[in-house]
Amino acid sequence: MVSMLLDLKPELASRPNDRQQSALHVAAVNGSIAAATEILQHSPDAAESKDKDGRNAVHVAVSNVDTLRGLLKVIGPAEVINQGDSAGNTPLHLAAKMAHVQSTLTLLKDPRVNPCLLNRDGHTARSLVEERLAVGEMDAYVVYLWEKLKKQEESRCKNLQHLPPVATYQSLRRRSHRSAGSGNGDYFELGVGTYTLVATLIATVTFAATFTMPGGYNQTSGLAIHADRAAFDIFLVSNTVAMCSSITVVFCFIWAWRDPVKFNLEHLRWVHMLTVIACLAMIVSLMTSVYLTVLPTKRWPAYLVITIGACTPVVVILILGKEAFYIPFVQKTVLPVDVKSHNSNGDIQI
């Protein structure tokens, strides 16, 4: 439909609405990469169009990391990606100021994005993150984001003297501890507690399964009755993987409670992955245990249990979609359809 309309009237690509948003802005707000691609193919100059706040479509897309990734693939000029709005904020400035961790990291991975640019107040994206400390909004994820931005400045900015002074890690840590009672700190503690609880339960169950082998033990020799079967080997390996993965998660989160500032997003990715592996291994352990002990006498219940176990990961993916592959305790904000305005702090008002 977008292609048909633009074939008939190409000027529609640059015609603004009552909020001075072009069609490309609206496509970015709604997360329609297909529509944005058609608009840019018909009118490449549409990427330079600005709304009433001087923001282009990339600025708008920072609130939705999936939309941002799609736009970066179809927008070519670096000038557009590094374009400043009415306050001089580039998309990287805006993503950092709004503490959208995934969007900021996505922009930093793009070689066209310049982390050395200053807005009209003389701030880089890194110094905007540091400013959040003044109101006590810094959590472990934002500290991790600050570290990434600082490294990018050090490696890519030739003249560091013209950049705002860099805060020390010690000052960030002190301010982070002072804001430990904020909602972000509670949010991180909720994530740590949930992972720890799940991992502890898996470790307990799999440890108990080690001493209650499927089918039991031979009373004479003391060996497992099904030790000579291939399914028993699968049970042993999967049960061990589940237990050791969950123990690793619990052990890692001991340090998360001790110093959440150092426990950054990379660590959380690892423990999330290990938790998923432990859950999958526990399902395999269940299926092989049923196969060894129930299948010889009751076929249809055993096959039903095995089928349910095999379908569990598929059901999770069907319910959660792509969210199943993301860390659930990393805050992610998706921009709704209707964006009314931006306030003086740069936050989007819905």
Report whether pLDDT(345) > 50: no
Q: Spell out the domain ranges in the chain.
A: 1-179, 184-320
DSSP 23-50: HHHHHHHTT-HHHHHHHHHH-GGGGG--
pLDDT digits (tens, 9 = 90+) for 68-122: 988 888 887 788 889 999 889 999 999 988 888 889 999 999 989 999 899 888 8
Report whether pLDDT(54) > 70: yes
Q: Of 37 and 185, which is predicted with more confidence?
A: 37
Q: Of 97 and 143, which is predicted with more confidence?
A: 97
Report whether pLDDT(324) > 90: no
DSSP 212-230: S-TT-B-TTT--BTTTTSH
Intrachain domains 1-179 and 184-320 with the same fold: no
pLDDT the model gives residue 107 = 92
Q: In 3-state terms, what secondary structure has residue 349?
A: strand
Range from 102-106, 180-184, 255-259, 330-334 carrying the lowest mean pLDDT: 330-334
pLDDT the model gives residue 336 = 35
What's the mean pLDDT in 202-219? 81
Tokens found for residue 147: 């570290």
User: Cα separations (Å) of 8 from 4, 202, 335?
Assistant: 6, 61, 30
Closest CA to 28 of 43, 18, 40: 40
pLDDT digits (tens, 9 = 90+) for 151-162: 888 888 877 667
What's the mean pLDDT in 8-24? 84
Assign residue 222 a region: left if phi > 0, alpha if psi is -120 to 50, beta otherwise?
left
Report whether pLDDT(244) > 80: yes
- The torsion angle over the Cα atoms of residues 114, 149, 154 and 69, rounded to 10 degrees, is -40
Q: What is the pTM of this model?
A: 0.55
Count of other CB atoms within 10 angstroms of residue 201: 13
> What kind of fold does domain 1-179 have according to CATH?
1.25.40
CATH number of 184-320: 1.20.120
